[in-house]
Amino acid sequence: MAEHKLANGAARIDFQTEPARYRHWKLTVDGEVATLALDVDENAGLFEGYQLKLNSYDLGVDIELADALQRLRFEHPGVKAVLLRSAKNRVFCAGANIRMLAGASHAHKVNFCKFTNETRNAIEDASRNSGLSFVCVINGTAAGGGYELALAADHIILVDDGSSAVSLPELPLLAVLPGTGGLTRVTDKRRVRRDHADVFCTTEEGVKGKRAVAWRLVDEVVPQSKLDTAATERARERAGRSQRQANGGGVKLTPLQRKFNGDAIDYTCVNVAIDRAGQSATITLHGPDRDAPTNTASLTELGAEFWPLRLARELDDAILHLRNNEFEIGTLIFKSTGDVERVLAYDTFLADNASHWLINEIRQLWKNVLKRIDVTSRSLVTVIEPGSCFAGTLAEVVLACDRSYMLIGQREGDNKPPATIALSALNFGAYPMSNDLTRLQSRFLGEPHRVQVAQERSGEKLEAEDADELGLVTFALDDIDWDDEIRVFMEERTSFSPDALTGMEANLRFGGPETMESKIFARLTAWQNWIFQRPNAVGEDGALKRYGTGQKAAFDMRRV
Amino acid sequence: MAEHKLANGAARIDFQTEPARYRHWKLTVDGEVATLALDVDENAGLFEGYQLKLNSYDLGVDIELADALQRLRFEHPGVKAVLLRSAKNRVFCAGANIRMLAGASHAHKVNFCKFTNETRNAIEDASRNSGLSFVCVINGTAAGGGYELALAADHIILVDDGSSAVSLPELPLLAVLPGTGGLTRVTDKRRVRRDHADVFCTTEEGVKGKRAVAWRLVDEVVPQSKLDTAATERARERAGRSQRQANGGGVKLTPLQRKFNGDAIDYTCVNVAIDRAGQSATITLHGPDRDAPTNTASLTELGAEFWPLRLARELDDAILHLRNNEFEIGTLIFKSTGDVERVLAYDTFLADNASHWLINEIRQLWKNVLKRIDVTSRSLVTVIEPGSCFAGTLAEVVLACDRSYMLIGQREGDNKPPATIALSALNFGAYPMSNDLTRLQSRFLGEPHRVQVAQERSGEKLEAEDADELGLVTFALDDIDWDDEIRVFMEERTSFSPDALTGMEANLRFGGPETMESKIFARLTAWQNWIFQRPNAVGEDGALKRYGTGQKAAFDMRRV
3-class SS string, A372-402: HHHCCCCEEEEEECCCCCCECHHHHHHHHCC
φ/ψ of residue A30, rounded to 5:
-130, 90
- In this prediction, does ipTM exceed 0.90? yes
Instruction: Give B265's strand partners.
Output: B260, B272
Residues of chain B positioned with their CB less than 8 A from the CB of A523: 506-507, 510, 514, 522-523, 526
What confidence score (pLDDT) does residue B460 get? Answer: 98
> Residue A532: is its pLDDT beyond 50?
yes
Identify the CA nearest to A37 among candidates A88, A100, A87: A87
- ∠ CA B301-B312-B29, nearest 5°, is 60
Evaluate whether residue A9 is within a structural domain: no
Evaluate whether residue A552 is within a structural domain: no
pLDDT in tens, B112-141: 999 999 999 999 999 999 999 999 999 999
B139 plus B111 within the same structural domain: yes
Phi and psi based region of residue B338 (left: phi greater than 0; alpha: psi -120 to 50; beta: remaining): left
Taking CB atoms and an 8 Å limit, are B498 and A377 in contact across chains? no
> Residue B3: is its pLDDT beyond 80?
no
pLDDT in tens, A204-253: 999 999 999 999 999 999 999 999 999 999 999 999 999 898 666 899 99
Q: Which of A187, A208, A241 is the last residue of a domain?
A: A241
CA quadruple B55, B59, B61, B64: dihedral, nearest 10: 160
pTM value is: 0.97
Which residues, in sequence order, are CB contacts of B116 under 8 Å at separation 6+? B59, B62, B96, B145, B180
Taking CB atoms and an 8 Å limit, are A443 and B193 in contact across chains? yes
Identify the CA nearest to A117 among candidates A160, A65, A166, A165: A65
Q: Which of B191, B192, B319, B508 to mutate to test the interface with A (most CBs of A within 10 A)?
A: B508
Q: Which of A241, A268, A287 is the last residue of a domain?
A: A241
Q: What is the mean pLDDT of residues A444-472?
A: 98
CA–CA gap between residue B343 and residue B427 (Å, rounded): 13
SS3 per-residue string spanning A192-241 = CCHHHHHHHHCCCCCEEHHHHHHCCCCCEEECHHHHHHHHHHHHHHHHHH
Q: What is the mean pLDDT of residues A130-149?
A: 97
SS3 helix, strand, coil % of chain B, rounded to 5? 45, 15, 40
A121 plus A223 within the same structural domain: yes
CB nearest A188 (choices: B175, B330, B512):
B512
> Residue B455: is its pLDDT beyond 80?
yes
CA–CA gap between residue B191 and residue A444 (Å, rounded): 8
Q: For residue B99, give the H/E element and its range.
A: helix B98-103
Instruction: Give A36's strand partners.
Output: A27, A84
pLDDT in tens, B43-84: 999 999 999 999 999 999 999 999 999 999 999 999 999 999
Q: What is the DSSP letter of B296?
A: G
CA–CA gap between residue A157 and residue A231 (Å, rounded): 7
CA quadruple B489, B492, B494, B495: dihedral, nearest 10: 180
Instruction: Give A331's strand partners.
Output: A280, A379
Antiparallel, parallel or unpaired: β B155-159 and B133-138? parallel
CA–CA gap between residue A74 and residue B303 (Å, rounded): 71
Q: How far A89 CA lies from chain B's nearest CA (Å)? A: 32
Number of Cβ pairs closer than 8 Å across A and B?
297
Q: Are A523 and A395 in contact (CB under 8 A)?
A: no
Instruction: Give B266's strand partners.
Output: B259, B271
Q: What is the DSSP letter of B189?
A: I
What confidence score (pLDDT) does residue A541 get? Answer: 95
Taking CB atoms and an 8 Å limit, are A543 and B329 in contact across chains? no
B338 confidence band (pLDDT: 50, 70, 90): very high
Antiparallel, parallel or unpaired: β B165-167 and B133-138? unpaired
Q: What is the mean pLDDT of residues A131-158?
A: 98
CA B8 to chain centroid: 26
Antiparallel, parallel or unpaired: β B165-167 and B207-208? antiparallel
B334 plus B221 within the same structural domain: no
**How far is the CA of B82 from the CAs of A177, B91, B155, B234, in angstroms?**
44, 19, 11, 10
Q: How large a percentage of chain A has pLDDT more than 90?
A: 97
Evaluate whether residue B13 is within a structural domain: no
Residues of chain A positioned with their CB less than 8 A from the CB of B557: 279, 328, 330, 494, 498
What confidence score (pLDDT) does residue A278 get? Answer: 96
Q: Average pLDDT over chain A, rounded to whole?
A: 96
B444 confidence band (pLDDT: 50, 70, 90): very high
Evaluate whether residue B311 is within a structural domain: yes
CA–CA gap between residue B74 and residue B70 (Å, rounded): 6
Evaluate whether residue A86 is within a structural domain: yes
Q: Which of A180, A434, A530 to mutate to test the interface with B (most CBs of B within 10 A)?
A: A530
B263 plus B354 within the same structural domain: yes
A397 plus A316 within the same structural domain: yes
What confidence score (pLDDT) does residue B1 get? Answer: 41
CA–CA gap between residue B262 and residue B258 (Å, rounded): 13
B167 plus B41 within the same structural domain: yes
Q: Which residue of B has its CA nearest to A277?
A: B557
B229 plus B295 within the same structural domain: no
Taking CB atoms and an 8 Å limit, are A500 and B170 in contact across chains? yes
Beta-carbon count within 10 A of B337 CB: 15
What confidence score (pLDDT) does residue B483 get? Answer: 97
Q: Which of B379, B502, B504 to mutate to test the interface with A (most CBs of A within 10 A)?
A: B504
Domain of A448 in residue numbering reads as 259-508
Residue B129 burial by Cβ neighbours in a 10 Å radius (0-12, 13-18, 19+) = middle
> Residue B249: is its pLDDT beyond 90?
no
Q: Which of A183, A274, A381, A499 to mutate to test the interface with B (most CBs of B within 10 A)?
A: A499
Q: Which residues of A489-507 are buried (b: 16+ CB within 10 A; e: fewer)?
A: bbeebbebbbbbbbbbbbb
Answer positive or negative: Cα dihedral of A407, A410, A411, A414.
positive
Q: How far A494 CA lies from chain B's nearest CA (Å)? A: 8
Q: What is the mean pLDDT of residues A384-413?
A: 97
Identify the CA nearest to B236 among candidates B109, B362, B80: B80
A464 plus A360 within the same structural domain: yes
Q: Which residues of A230-252 are buried (b: 16+ CB within 10 A; e: fewer)?
A: bbbebbbebbeebebeeeeebbe
Q: Which residue of B has its CA nearest to A200?
A: B508
CA B429 to chain centroid: 19
Which residues, in sequence order, are CB contacts of A460 under 8 Å at separation 6+? A422, A423
What confidence score (pLDDT) does residue B520 get? Answer: 96
> Residue A340: is its pLDDT beyond 50?
yes
Instruction: Give chain A's domain count.
Output: 3
CB nearest B499 (choices: A184, A447, A536):
A536
pLDDT in tens, A483-493: 999 999 999 99
Q: Which of B208, B241, B274 is the last residue of a domain?
A: B241
Which residues, in sequence order, are CB contacts of B277 under 8 Å at separation 6+? none
B488 plus B516 within the same structural domain: no
CB nearest B560 (choices: A401, A499, A507):
A499
Beta-carbon count within 10 A of A510 CB: 26
Q: List alpha helices for A401-496, DSSP H.
A: 439-443, 449-456, 464-469, 479-495
Instruction: Give B83's strand partners.
Output: B35, B135
Lowest mean pLDDT among A272-276, A339-343, B548-552: B548-552
Taking CB atoms and an 8 Å limit, are A529 and B528 in contact across chains? no
CB nearest B496 (choices: A171, A190, A504):
A171
Residues in chain A: 560
Catalogue the long-range contacts made by B241-244 (C-beta closer than 8 Å, 24 or more residues apart): B241/B133, B242/B32, B242/B80, B242/B81, B242/B131, B242/B132, B242/B133, B243/B131, B244/B77, B244/B79, B244/B80, B244/B130, B244/B131, B244/B132, B244/B357
Q: Are A64 and A18 in contact (CB under 8 A)?
A: no
Evaluate whether residue B3 is within a structural domain: no
Q: Are B186 and B166 in contact (CB under 8 A)?
A: no
What confidence score (pLDDT) does residue B146 get? Answer: 98
B375 plus B517 within the same structural domain: no
CA–CA gap between residue B53 and residue B39 (Å, rounded): 10
Taking CB atoms and an 8 Å limit, are B330 and A559 in contact across chains? yes
Between helix A393-400 and helix A340-352 the angle, nearest 10°, is: 100
Query: Amino acid letter at B538?
Result: V
Residue A301 burial by Cβ neighbours in a 10 Å radius (0-12, 13-18, 19+) = exposed
B444 plus B513 within the same structural domain: no
Identify the CA nearest to A183 among candidates A544, A537, A560, A523: A523
Instruction: Give B275's strand partners.
Output: B280
Evaluate whether residue B7 is within a structural domain: no
Residues of chain B positioned with their CB less than 8 A from the CB of A493: 202
Q: Are B444 and B519 in contact (CB under 8 A)?
A: no
Q: What is the DSSP letter of A58?
A: -
Beta-carbon count within 10 A of A257 CB: 11
Q: How large a percentage of chain B has pLDDT more than 70?
A: 99
> Residue A2: is its pLDDT beyond 60?
no
Which residues, in sequence order, are CB contacts of B153 under 8 Å at separation 6+? B84, B123, B134, B135, B136
Q: Which of B380, B406, B507, B517 to mutate to test the interface with A (most CBs of A within 10 A)?
A: B507
A209 plus A349 within the same structural domain: no
Provide the 3-class DSSP secondary structure of residue A122.
Answer: helix
What confidence score (pLDDT) does residue B245 get? Answer: 81
Instruction: Give A233's strand partners.
Output: none
**DSSP-assigned letters across all residues of B17-85:** --GGG-SSEEEEEETTEEEEEE---TT--SBSS---GGGEE-HHHHHHHHHHHHHHHHT-TT--EEEEE
Q: What is the mean pLDDT of residues A51-71?
A: 98
Q: Which residue of A has its CA nearest to B543?
A: A497
Q: How large a percentage of chain B has pLDDT more than 90?
A: 97
pLDDT in tens, B295-321: 998 898 899 999 999 999 999 999 999
Evaluate whether residue A247 is within a structural domain: no
Q: Which residue of B has its CA nearest to A511?
A: B187
CB nearest A527 (choices: B199, B446, B507):
B507
What's the CATH number where A104 sits?
3.90.226.10
A1 confidence band (pLDDT: 50, 70, 90): very low
